[in-house]
Structure 1
Amino acid sequence: MISEEDELSNEEKIDLICSLLLQAPPGEFRNVFEDLRILICDDHLMRNEAAQVSANHTKKNFTPVSIRGDDSLVTRHNDLGGNRFFDPQIKLSFRFDHLSRRADKILLYHVVRKDTAELWRETLNVALESYVKKHFHSGTCRVYRKSLRGSPFFVICIEGHQYKKFWNAFWKSEWILPVTPPNTQVTGSISVQLHYFKKANLHFTATNTIEVSMCLINRAQFALDFEKLIEGEDNKLQTGLLKSLQILSDEVWSVFRRQLPVTRTAICWNKLLTY
């Protein structure tokens, strides 16, 4: 039994809730939330404190959502406030519940200027949607038009994921480019998260940043060039990950104080116990 002296204060419970929820791998937030709810035994505290953390987790990980049959994303770049988000490609806004991960109250979004920058955005979005469908098992992308001191720039958000029974994998990339013809300076970041939890509990995270200058004259040609850029950087990171994982696997077994046989197969502990 836990004595009153060992009981956590509300402040300590809040710190614990926020810390563990922020560490939840993509695709597992709801599972972590439900486990914590059982442990804390305070639904009011859980829902109050988890709301903001859930919203941050949702937007940080480019959460995919279906809007009238179309794939969309929930990010900080399309946040209208009040848990409403907009999709510039399908011209709709929607309310999103960060805990249940459901969208409702879908409305036509009117504030879309059909100018040169919007044409560039639409062309780039179409090209990248084709790329994502070709290379990701489950993925979504969106190009958002933003403005800084009256100067337009694009933010490209791409997410790909596979959530299985005993493992989850998440791929996210974010690209920013000012609309400054005839050239632009592209900055990007790619992050990968893996979580395997069948016969072990393995977390793996990798990130990469990119900076490159590109020609910004013809929008169709730029869309093709940008697609090639992303494909090249994605392939480079994937190849590096495979090499790193192989090196890590070999090094881990070589640093044990007592050398162990390496079979690269799972051990059946139940059989060992009967020997």
Structure 2
Amino acid sequence: MDATERLQAASKFLLQSPPGEINDVLNDVRNIISDDDALQAGILPALREYNLAQFTTADVPGHQHQCIVSEAARVEGSEESEEPRDRFWDPRSRTSFRFDHLALEASEPEPIEPDEESEPFRLALENSSLTYISAHFHDGVTSVFSTPGNAERFVVQVVANKYNPSNFWSGRWRSEYVLNLADRTLEGKILVNVHYYEQGNVQLSTSHTVSLELPQTITASNAAASANKILALIETEEARYQTSLNAAYQTMGDKMFKALRRALPLTRAKLDWDRVLGYKLGQEITANKGGFGSS
């Protein structure tokens, strides 16, 4: 395998990294490449893709909250480059920053002004989203973005991470909703990733799509009330999906996994474990007697 093939393999490994474990995977692939400079340059596109797709969170410079780094957060006109840093923005603080995809750090903050026409409704959505995640997610992060050139299109993103390496598991919940007031639609997706790796390697990766028509009571002119109604729709959908996941896992435990186990051995008769133990003790006693007689 030549250097290019090794870099391609390393990039694939990184893109499949479980939640919170990309640094562990990166350290492992360093042994494959054995050239840190080549590794950094070769895997940068994969790291960028992974961070944006996984809704990586960043501490906003100069502020006491985190925001989501995603494609929706990219500053208009900021193009991907060979440098590991792209510019994104946090609408909540009206701050843009450079994000280092290798170090996962934000720097070089600059003020940025939102679109005046869409900002009132975006702000109402943001306030409702913050209330929602504080009620339903531990350490959840949300970002709400307007769309340049379209004052009636908004993107609501939510991410929540739970890492528990001492108990060998990690998990991530991501959800994204595209709200279009002109078309009166709410299109979204929910993605869940869980990794359990105590004496094994079990991963769950599942997704759910949402497609709703907005009720007539949701209007741009009534921003606060409409934003609350939109988040109520999101809450209903996410609760329904969570309930379905719980039911599926209950069914797995009660039926599917039990069906995988053989009810009886090939003899179609249950083992008498007391007799088996008796046989074992008898064999040990016989063996010991033989040993004593030969001495």
What's the TM-score, normalizing by structure 1?
A: 0.85
Equivalence for 2:52: 59
SS where residue 113 of structure 1 aligns? Answer: coil
Give, in whole Å, the separation in 2 of the partners of 1:248 and 1:100. Answer: 40
Residue 258 of structure 1 deviates from its aligned partner by: 7.0
CA gap of 1:137–1:259, structure 2 versus 1, over 3 A, is: farther
Give, in whole Å, the separation in 2 of the partners of 1:245 and 1:187. Answer: 27
One-letter amino acid of the counterpart of residue 253, structure 1: K
Give, in whole Å, the separation in 1 of the partners of 2:257 and 2:5. Answer: 36
Unpaired runs of 5+ residues, structure 2, are: 81-85, 271-295
- Indicate the structure with greater strand content: 1
Equivalence for 1:266: none
SS where residue 25 of structure 1 aligns? Answer: coil
Residue 252 of structure 1 deviates from its aligned partner by: 2.8
Give, in whole Å, the separation in 2 of the partners of 1:55 and 1:231. Answer: 30
Residue 12 of structure 1 deviates from its aligned partner by: 1.6
Equivalence for 2:180: 178
Instruction: Say whether residues 1:43 and 2:36 are aligned partners.
Output: yes
| Structure (1 or 2) with the larger CA radius of gyration | 2
- Count of paired positions: 249
Give, in whole Å, the separation in 1 of the partners of 2:115 and 2:152. Answer: 12
Instruction: Say whether residues 1:71 and 2:75 are aligned partners.
Output: no
Question: Paired residue for 1:93, among 90, 93, 96?
Answer: 96
- Contact 2:152–2:180 (CA under 8 A) maintained in structure 1: yes
One-letter amino acid of the counterpart of residue 207, structure 1: S
Give, in whole Å, the separation in 2 of the partners of 1:210 and 1:157. Answer: 14
CA gap of 1:130–1:103, structure 2 versus 1, over 3 A, is: same
SS where residue 20 of structure 2 aligns? Answer: coil
SS where residue 192 of structure 2 aligns? Answer: strand
Q: Deviations over 1:184-233 (max 9, x none)?
A: 11111111110011232110112111111113322122111112111111
Equivalence for 2:229: 225
Instruction: Say whether residues 1:140 and 2:141 are aligned partners.
Output: yes
Give, in whole Å, the separation in 2 of the partners of 1:255 and 1:198. Answer: 21
Equivalence for 2:155: 155
One-letter amino acid of the counterpart of residue 13, structure 2: L
- Contact 2:19–2:194 (CA under 8 A) maintained in structure 1: no
Unpaired runs of 5+ residues, structure 1, are: 1-7, 262-275
Instruction: Say whether residues 1:236 and 2:236 are aligned partners.
Output: no
Residue 256 of structure 1 deviates from its aligned partner by: 4.3
Residue 52 of structure 1 deviates from its aligned partner by: 1.0
One-letter amino acid of the counterpart of residue 55, structure 1: R
Give, in whole Å, the separation in 1 of the partners of 2:249 and 2:33. Answer: 37
Percent identical pairs in the alignment equals 27
Q: Deviations over 1:107-155 (max 9, x none)?
A: 1113x2322x21000011011111101111111111100146x564101
